[in-house]
Structure 1
Amino acid sequence: MKKLFSSQDAFELQAVRSELDALSIPYMVKNEFASGAIGELPWQDSQQEVWLVDDTWYTRASKVVEALIGRTSDKADIQSDWRCQQCGEENGGAFELCWQCHAGTRPE
């Protein structure tokens, strides 16, 4: 078994589950009913997780998650800082536009 996805967002989790069901990709959900234990257990230990029953489906299932959520579970959510090509200002990774000149010149 291999962990595919986890999220605090119930809508994201359900979207992944629905798509996996539609494609007949076998999976199981761990901690599906553990939310009542939050407080007794750390939230990380009670977060719902989607696990693949058969590891051979991982490549295809990862593409499903990436298409739905825009990231895979193996990638970091943090983007690196960048310098505006128009005014040269240093911008944080979360910014798509330069905060100084509002140019949309983030390098790809």
Structure 2
Amino acid sequence: MKMVYSHENLFLVTNAKNIIESTGIETFLKNEFAQGAVGEASAFDCWPEIWVLDDNDYDKAKSAIEASQKSANMVDWICNKCLEKNDASFEICWQCSEEQG
């Protein structure tokens, strides 16, 4: 098993786990309830972690996480054809089906 992702926010870790599992990769969530031990243990040692069960899936899992973070940093765009504002995640205008240009 290899650790793929860790963060102090359980919501972000759970979201990353769902993204990885949507690609067909089996994962294990470690330290899901360990944040209550902060003070007795280092805060970093208590962060939730996602581990892939098969080491061969590590690169694919990392790529899935990186791709999701990349799209989060994109900006909304305006369609050249109908001037409709589209969310950054759309590659085709939701109003007129024109491709982003």
Task: Decide whether aligned partners of structure 1 residues 69 and 11 sit closer, same or farther in structure 2, where only a CA change above 3 A counts.
Answer: farther
Q: Deviations over 1:58-82 (max 9, x none)?
A: 1111111101234xxxxxxxxxxxx
**Larger helix proportion of the pair:** 2
Structure 1 residue 15: Cα displacement: 1.6
How many pairs does the alignment contain?
Answer: 70
Task: Find the aligned partners of 1:7 and 1:44 in 2 and give their Cα distance.
Answer: 9
Q: Say yes or no: does 1:2 pair with 2:9.
A: no
2-structure distance, mates of 1:12, 1:38: 19
Partner of 1:12: 12
User: Could you tell me which residue of structure 1 aligns to residue 46 of structure 2?
Assistant: 46
**5+ unaligned residues in a row in structure 1: which ranges?**
71-108
Percent of aligned pairs sharing the same letter = 33
Give yes or no for the alignment of 1:55 onto 2:63: no
Determine if contact 2:10/2:32 at 8 Å carries over to the other structure.
Answer: no
Equivalents in 2 of 1:5, 1:31: separation in Å?
12
CA drift of 1:36 comes to: 1.0
Q: Judge conservation of contact 1:15–1:68 (CA < 8 Å) in 2.
A: no
Pairwise mapping of residues 17-96 of structure 1 onto structure 2 (< 5 A)? 17-70=17-70
Report how far residue 35 of structure 1 moved.
1.0
* TM-score, with structure 1 as normaliser: 0.59
1:27-53 deviations in Å (ceiling 9; x for gaps): 111111101111111101111111111
The Cα RMSD (Å) is 1.3
- Return the letter of the residue paired with 2:11: F
1:76-105 superposed Cα distances (whole Å, 9 cap, x missing partner): xxxxxxxxxxxxxxxxxxxxxxxxxxxxxx
User: Is residue 12–residue 69 contact of structure 1 (8 Å, CA) maintained in 2?
Assistant: no
